Structure 1
Amino acid sequence: MTLTKQLTRSEERMHSDFDWLNSRHSFSFGGHYDPERMGFGPLRVVNDDIIAPSGGFPSHPHRDMEIITLVLDGQLQHKDSLGNGRVIQTGDIQYMSAGSGVVHSEFNPSADQPVHIMQIWIQPSETGLEPRYADQPMLGAVDNEWKLILSPDGREDSMAIRQDADLRTLRLSEGKSVSYVSDSERRGYWIFVLQGAVQVGGEQLLRGDSLALTDVADLDFVQQGTEVAQVMLFDLPVG
């Protein structure tokens, strides 16, 4: 393990712009390739997508990937070959384990409003497993407390993922700070700011910024400015 800290500013992310999609990529994706930005541990894709009204991704296949979608604003219509059909609302999270293979589509059902989503791909610890799907509203999240979204064992009402990885979110109100301590060794942290600004790991992070850290025992997150801050924290095996 050689990485100690890697800061990526929002404007340094790779960018795809189509008639129906405006997407920022934290890691190499599609036609964008950077050998220094191929992921972080099993975390492979973090795309910040704005989908135009009535736009979307037509049916396409996936295999052996854990795919997580957070709807930040708007609605997203999901259909898949497992028979699931859902409209995911603002603040909801969707999890699909592609396993041995699944076909799905994602569209913005609104005729006049864009939808803003984060799409995340995590490499599973096992391949060829049976595909599965889950979604849940982000109920129970409390300001200034960590909310566990994904975990390998489904603890604390999180959704169980096929990887030794935790995903947490945090909303920090003005002037507040919250710490995080991992109970595992040989871990790495990948932090992304969804809203506002925070001080963490000796850096001030703004909306769209990310920070990868290894060889740290704990982290202090301090809200900056007047806007409520919201962050994602991945606790992952690295090295």
Structure 2
Amino acid sequence: MTTKIVRASEHFHHEEGDWLSTYWHFSFDFYRDPQNMGFGPLRVFNDDVIKPGKGFGFHPHRDMEIITYVIDGELEHRDDKGNHGVIYAGEIQRMTAGTGIVHSEYNHSKEKPLRLLQMWVQANKRGLAPSWEQQKFSTDERKDRLLPVVVAEGTNNASSKRAVHMHQDASMYVSSLGAGKQVEHALAQDRKAYVFVIDGDATVNGQKMQKQDAARIEDENKVSIRAGKPAEIILVDLPGRYDVNK
């Protein structure tokens, strides 16, 4: 059984710019590590803090499912398909790049910094039609439970009816845990999980984690998360093996 803790202070690539402070969990942009190209189909996991009124100008993507989770602040999205929206803390956005999309992401506030997670998951099909959706969730919905916010295309059950859908056999959950509270997530055979402590601290499968630590979990049948002090958590459930169909 394997639960490998990865600590931000030791392993994540950190960039500090004029308007962006970011931790890159995997190889990204000019940072290349052949031993750290992703975790299953999870190809990018970036923890960004963006100064007021700043952001990423229009740029292209293709054949990726791009998921953005806002931790604090306001994110404004625009793309060349006519989509435009602002998402706030605790809300989620999914963009299917597919055959190609050009988009921009900015801190909508002129006064407060924006913190977000941007995650890229390799789509299970090439040449999909580009699309975009966002969903609002309250703090109470994730209090002391794992709330599904992204699920695989075709998932249709009561617990995930408000989650956004992506084109990959993967799902994402968020949780706001009070001190001493615990949640568990079952892992099916040949599944793996990526757990990130957004804020606070927690014990994951018996191992202590601090703010901005991550855990790579493989060959285990469950993920057990217990908060020390109050904690915000995101968990990504991923296939151990996957194919990209043409």
The question of a shared fold, defined as TM-score above 0.5 by the shorter chain, is answered with: yes
Q: TM-score range by the shorter chain?
A: over 0.9
2:180 is matched with 175
Matches within 5 A, 1:91-102: 91-102=90-101
Measure, in 1, the Cα distance between the counterparts of 2:148 and 2:211.
21
Amino acid at match of 2:63: D
Question: How big is the shift at 1:145?
Answer: 1.3
2:208 is matched with 204
Structure 1 gaps, min length 5: none
1:219 to 209, 218, 223: 223
3-state SS, counterpart of residue 237 of structure 2: strand
1:234 is matched with 236
1:137 is matched with 136
Structure 2 gaps, min length 5: 242-246
Question: How big is the shift at 1:154?
Answer: 4.0
CA contact (8 A) 2:142 2:174 kept: no
CA contact (8 A) 2:100 2:130 kept: yes
2:2 to 1, 4, 20: 4
Question: How big is the shift at 1:6?
Answer: 2.5
Kindly indicate whether residue 169 of structure 2 is the aligned counterpart of residue 164 of structure 1: yes
Kindly indicate whether residue 124 of structure 2 is the aligned counterpart of residue 125 of structure 1: yes
Kindly indicate whether residue 192 of structure 2 is the aligned counterpart of residue 188 of structure 1: yes
Task: Give the alignment's TM-score, normalised by structure 1.
Answer: 0.94
Measure, in 2, the Cα distance between the counterparts of 1:33 and 1:162.
26
Measure, in 1, the Cα distance between the counterparts of 2:110 and 2:173.
32
Measure, in 1, the Cα distance between the counterparts of 2:115 and 2:142.
22
Question: How big is the shift at 1:159?
Answer: 1.1
Measure, in 2, the Cα distance between the counterparts of 1:88 and 1:133.
13
Aligned residues: 234
Task: Give the alignment's TM-score, normalised by structure 2.
Answer: 0.91
Measure, in 2, the Cα distance between the counterparts of 1:154 and 1:73.
28
Question: How big is the shift at 1:198?
Answer: 0.8
List per-residue Cα deviations over 1:95-152 (Å, max 9, x = no partner). Answer: 1010111000011122222111110100011110101100011136141111001111
Amino acid at match of 2:2: T
3-state SS, counterpart of residue 168 of structure 2: coil
1:74 is matched with 73
Question: How big is the shift at 1:170?
Answer: 1.4
